[in-house]
Amino acid sequence: MLATAVFLSFSILQAAIPQEDVSALLRECERNIEAMPKRMLDYGWTEKRTERRFDRRGEVTKETVAFYEVYPVSGTARPLRKLVSRNGVRLSEEQTAKELKRVASALEKMEREGRNNDEDRKQGRGKGFTLGILDFLRACQFTPVRRERFRDREAMVFDFRPRPDFRPEDFSQEVILNLVGRVWIDPVEKFVIRLQARPAQKNYPNADRLDDNPSLAFEVARLSDGVLIPSLMQVKTIGKARLFNGAETYFVIEWSDYKRFNTSIENYKIDPPKEKKP
How does pLDDT run across 106-162, given as a tens digit for each residue? 888 877 776 554 444 454 455 688 999 999 999 999 998 889 998 888 899 999 999
The H or E element that residue 2 is part of is none
pLDDT in the model for residue 44:
92
3-state secondary structure (DSSP) of residue 92: coil
Answer yes or no: are the C-beta atoms of 84 and 91 closer than 8 Å: yes
Phi-psi region of 114 (alpha: psi -120 to 50; beta: other; left: phi over 0): left
Let me know if residue 148 belongs to a domain.
yes
Residue type at 123? Q
Q: Are strands 250-260 and 43-54 parallel, antiparallel or unpaired?
A: antiparallel
Does pLDDT of 1 surpass 50? no
- Is 49 within the bounds of a domain? yes
Q: How many domains does the chain divide into?
A: 1
Three-class SS state of 103: helix
| 88 is a domain residue | no
Q: Is residue 1 part of a domain?
A: no
Report the pLDDT value the prediction gives residue 10, as an integer from 0 to 100.
Answer: 30
252/216 Cα distance (integer angstroms)? 10
Instruction: List the alpha helices (DSSP H) in 114-248.
Output: 117-121, 133-139, 171-174
Is 144 among the domain residues? Answer: yes
198 Cα distance to chain centroid: 14
Within a domain: 136: yes
The domain of 47 spans: 10-54+125-260
Q: Is residue 132 part of a domain?
A: yes
At 65-87, the pLDDT tens digits run: 999 999 888 777 678 899 999 99
pLDDT at 211 over 70: no
263 three-class SS: coil
1: CB partners within 8 A, 6+ apart: 77, 78, 117, 130, 132
In a domain, 222, yes or no: yes
**Confidence at residue 15, expressed as pLDDT on a 0 to 100 scale:** 38
